[in-house]
């Protein structure tokens, strides 16, 4: 294991985040605050509570998930796409660095940034509504697992993309809609029957539900199912990454 | 000891269906400077890419210091430094950070003293805290060389190191290469500048249309093809070469107006002074004279032209 190399990539990526601190930290904090103003204060005042949890607090896990998914994907995809775009990827390909080490460096840094961001959003949320963690260890587990999984998804997108617009397409057209539909701001139990069944095909439902359970003990789907699904997404991402490196897909000509 | 780079039967067909390399066999000896010459699109960068792990060969094997680049890739790559043809850099990083990054990729700890010596050797020490985008093109080229040397490779690939580089820097580069040779580093470079190969290389390989046309010691090549010619413009045309000059390699032009002496400058026996005395003794007068020498460039052009 080339630990120095993992560290070098990781440090390099973290340094990039420090250079773009506005983009990685400030803007999500501002948008989270806006969500609280809109959903928490304006709409929340008309919704009493969901499953015994005040609406403002109810949306916190969903909000964290929303940013976590978006930022993990955009961070990781940009991190690997940029060297491909500029050509500096030659350095990594010609260095004694294994695929696993490359992924650990890039996805690891992206996941770290996402987790930091998630914590910052939680702290921001704490300014608006009372927070409550029923299962803090599980909360941390869901946070970290999701950050890792979607950093891997971002890594895959960054390798698949052959233009900057493609980097945006997946987050914009797939992830954001799925997050909104996936019960970030409501319980899918509030949906009428056919929609509710349909929602169960949305993977984000399982992530948000499990995460919310770790806060308030309420869930749309069984927490074991949530955990199994989270693990499944992680396994799928790992398999795709493994395939990419095995075939040299889009990395080597 | 085995050769440092052993390339056997390497072919490359790109996804587009284009075959860039056709069964290349080449060995590069330990410690030598090997120049790979060839016209645009000949396959030089592709070949280097395969050895360095950037391009996947369609067939064939490559060993670096005995380590197969596929089965022992980690060991093989750790021995190689690569300066790519294109100036590819991360514009936003500082010089120091990008060089440290490369060293890290090769599994080595950042060693400030070593980094300093590499940056000083390439006159980049003053620029260590500058962002790469503020460097000039020549500085970027040197930075790429610094990055390629920072992990102390045993084999250095320089893909057109002096493209777009001014005369001063080119000579610095040549000096650097000979310094590396003294340290025992094997250098493989590609170039379009024949004088560069002539100046630096121990051996020369010519690649054209994905095929290795020739590999030869530069000195042999120059001797074999590098004949000098002394031409005399005669006052009065000759019908034939006089008997007294028959021991010399001479050519008489069709109209008898020009006499050409072919000789090898490295051959002590071929002195032109003596020849000119003989010419005078034979009563031949001339109005003008000139010498020409076939350069590596002529050799190269004739080799590449010969094959369509
Ligand atoms: N990724 C690719 N896909 C398809 N064809 C390619 C690719 N890369 C290179 N080629 C083709 O392979 C051939 C060899 O290219 P290569 O870059 O190895 O040439 P070269 O000898 O380095 O040329 P130059 O002196 O211009 O740098 C060219 O015809 C080029 O168009
Ligand atoms: Mg080239």
Among B223, B243, B271, the domain boundary falls at B223
Residue B307 pLDDT more than 60? no
**Which of B35, B45, B164, B197 should be mutated for ligand 1, with most atoms under 8 A from CB?**
B45
Structure tokens belonging to residue A33: 């605050």
Residue ranges covered by each domain of chain A: 3-247
pLDDT in tens, A232-247: 999 999 999 989 888 8
Burial class (CB in 10 A: 0-12, 13-18, 19+), A165: exposed
Cα–Cα distance for residue pair A90/B82, rounded to 1 Å: 9
Cα–Cα distance for residue pair A179/A167, rounded to 1 Å: 18
* B170 and B25 within one domain: yes
User: Does the distance separating the beta carbons of A9 and B74 come in below 8 Å?
Assistant: no
Which chain A positions have a beta carbon within 8 Å of B100's beta carbon? 8
Q: Estimate to the nearest angstrom the gap between the alpha carbon of A35 and the chain centroid.
A: 17
Cα–Cα distance for residue pair B234/B261, rounded to 1 Å: 13
- Ligand 1 contacts (CB < 6 A) are A 253; B 14, 16, 18, 20, 38, 40-46, 85
* B150 and B233 within one domain: no
Looking at the 3D structure of chain B, how many domains does it have? 2
Q: Is B102 on the interface with A (CB under 8 A)?
A: yes
* B266 and B238 within one domain: yes
* B249 and B210 within one domain: no
Which chain B positions have a beta carbon within 8 Å of A3's beta carbon? 107
Burial class (CB in 10 A: 0-12, 13-18, 19+), B269: exposed
* B201 and B103 within one domain: yes
CB A13 within 8 Å of CB A105: yes
DSSP secondary structure letter of residue A171: I
Residue B21 pLDDT more than 70? yes
* B114 and B248 within one domain: no
Among B166, B190, B223, the domain boundary falls at B223
* B269 and B121 within one domain: no
* B72 and B94 within one domain: yes
Residue B307, in any domain of the structure: no
Select the residue from B101, B132, B152, B158 to test the A interface by mutation, using most A Cβ atoms within 10 A. Answer: B101
Alpha helices by DSSP H, listed for B79-151, are 95-105, 112-121, 137-149
Could you report the predicted ipTM of this complex, rounded to two decimals?
0.85
Considering only residues 48 to 77 of chain B, which have any Cβ-Cβ distance to chain A shorter than 8 Å?
49, 52-56, 73-75, 77
Residue B304, in any domain of the structure: no
Q: Average per-residue pLDDT in chain A? A: 89
Q: Is A192 on the interface with B (CB under 8 A)?
A: no
pLDDT, average across residues B55-65 = 96
Residue B301, in any domain of the structure: no
User: Does the distance separating the beta carbons of A253 and B54 come in below 8 Å?
Assistant: yes
pLDDT in tens, A1-16: 899 999 999 999 998 8
Residue B173, in any domain of the structure: yes
Lowest mean pLDDT among A148-152, A211-215, B176-180, B264-268: B264-268
User: Does the distance separating the beta carbons of B147 and A90 come in below 8 Å?
Assistant: no
* B190 and B52 within one domain: yes
CATH (domain of B34): 3.40.50.300
What residues make up the domain containing B217? 3-223
Of the candidates A5, A248, A253, which has its C-beta nearest B104's C-beta?
A5
pLDDT in tens, B91-100: 889 999 999 9
Residue B306, in any domain of the structure: no
Structure tokens belonging to residue B127: 């620029």
* B170 and B69 within one domain: yes
Task: Give B228's pLDDT tier (boundaries 50, 70, 90).
Answer: confident
CATH (domain of B247): 3.30.70.100
- State the DSSP H helix or E strand holding residue B224, giving kind and residue range, or none if neither: helix B218-225
CB B70 within 8 Å of CB A246: no
Q: Which atom of ligand 1 is nearest to the CA of B47?
A: 18
Burial class (CB in 10 A: 0-12, 13-18, 19+), B4: buried
Structure tokens belonging to residue B99: 């060089």
Residue B222 pLDDT more than 80? no
Which chain B positions have a beta carbon within 8 Å of A97's beta carbon? 105
Please give the residue of chain B at the shortest CA–CA distance from A5.
Answer: B105
Among B168, B195, B223, the domain boundary falls at B223
Q: Does the predicted model carry a pTM greater than 0.80?
A: yes
* B249 and B204 within one domain: no
Q: Which atom of ligand 1 is nearest to the CA of B48?
A: 18
Lowest mean pLDDT among B41-45, B64-68, B143-147, B272-276: B272-276
**Which of B21, B43, B159 should be mutated for ligand 1, with most atoms under 8 A from CB?**
B43
* B122 and B45 within one domain: yes
pLDDT, average across residues A164-172 = 86
Q: How far is CA B107 from CA A97, B143, B239, in A?
A: 8, 20, 75
pLDDT in tens, A97-147: 998 899 999 999 999 999 999 999 998 888 888 888 999 999 999 999 999
Task: Give B211's pLDDT tier (boundaries 50, 70, 90).
Answer: very high
CB B54 within 8 Å of CB A252: yes
Of the candidates B14, B80, B107, which has its C-beta nearest A4's C-beta?
B107
Q: How many other CB atoms are there within 10 angstroms of residue B18's CB atom?
A: 10
Buried b / exposed e along B23-56 (16+ C-beta atoms within 10 A): ebebebeebbbbbbbbeeebbbbbbbbbbbbbbe
């Amino acid at each position: 294991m080339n630990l120095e190399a993992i560290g070098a990539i990781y440090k390099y990526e973290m340094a990039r985040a420090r250079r773009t601190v506005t983009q990685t930290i400030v803007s999500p904090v501002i948008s989270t605050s806006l969500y609280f103003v809109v959903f928490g204060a304006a709409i929340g005042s008309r919704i009493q509570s969901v499953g015994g949890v005040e609406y403002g607090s109810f949306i916190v896990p969903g909000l964290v998930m929303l940013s976590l998914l978006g930022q993990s994907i955009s961070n990781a995809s940009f991190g690997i796409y940029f060297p491909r775009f500029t050509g500096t990827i030659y350095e990594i390909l010609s260095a004694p660095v294994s695929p696993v080490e490359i992924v650990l460096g890039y996805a690891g840094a992206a996941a770290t940034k996402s987790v930091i961001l998630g914590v910052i959003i939680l702290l921001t949320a704490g300014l608006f509504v009372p927070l409550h963690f029923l299962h803090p260890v599980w909360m941390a587990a869901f946070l970290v697992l999701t950050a890792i999984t979607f950093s891997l998804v971002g890594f895959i997108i960054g390798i698949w993309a052959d233009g900057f617009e493609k980097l945006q397409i997946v987050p914009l057209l797939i992830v954001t809609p799925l997050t909104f539909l996936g019960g970030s701001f409501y319980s899918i139990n509030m949906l009428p029957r056919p929609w509710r069944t349909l929602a169960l095909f949305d993977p984000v439902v399982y992530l948000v539900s499990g995460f919310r359970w770790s806060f308030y003990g309420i869930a749309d789907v069984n927490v074991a199912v949530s955990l199994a699904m989270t693990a499944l997404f992680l396994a799928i991402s790992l398999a795709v990454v493994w395939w990419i490196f095995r075939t040299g897909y889009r990395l080597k000509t | 000891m085995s050769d440092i780079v052993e390339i056997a039967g390497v072919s490359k067909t790109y996804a587009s269906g284009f075959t860039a390399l056709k069964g290349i066999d080449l060995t590069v000896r330990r410690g030598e400077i090997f120049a790979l010459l060839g016209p645009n699109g000949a396959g030089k960068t592709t070949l280097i890419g395969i050895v360095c792990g950037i391009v996947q060969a369609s067939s064939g094997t490559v060993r670096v210091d005995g380590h197969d680049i596929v089965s022992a890739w980690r060991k093989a790559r750790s021995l190689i430094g690569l300066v790519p043809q294109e100036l590819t850099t991360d514009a936003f990083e500082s010089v120091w950070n990008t060089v440290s990054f490369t060293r890290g990729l090769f599994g080595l700890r950042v060693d400030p003293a070593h980094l300093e010596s590499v940056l000083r050797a390439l006159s980049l020490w003053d620029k260590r805290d500058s962002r790469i985008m503020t460097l000039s093109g020549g500085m970027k080229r040197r930075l790429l060389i610094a990055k390629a040397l920072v992990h102390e490779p045993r084999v250095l690939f320089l893909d057109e190191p002096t493209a777009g580089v001014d005369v001063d820097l080119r000579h610095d580069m040549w000096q650097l290469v000979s310094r590396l040779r003294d340290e025992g580093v094997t250098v493989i470079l590609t170039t379009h500048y024949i004088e560069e190969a002539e100046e630096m290389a121990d051996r020369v390989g010519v690649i054209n249309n994905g095929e290795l046309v020739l590999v030869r010691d530069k000195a042999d090549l120059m001797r074999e093809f590098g004949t000098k010619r002394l031409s005399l413009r005669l006052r009065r045309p000759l019908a034939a070469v006089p008997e007294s000059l028959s021991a010399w390699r001479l050519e008489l032009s069709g109209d008898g107006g020009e006499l050409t002496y072919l000789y090898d400058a490295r051959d002590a026996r071929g002195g032109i002074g003596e020849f000119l005395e003989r010419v005078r003794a034979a009563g031949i007068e001339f109005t003008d004279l000139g010498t020409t020498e076939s350069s590596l460039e002529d050799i190269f052009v004739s080799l590449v032209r010969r094959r369509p």
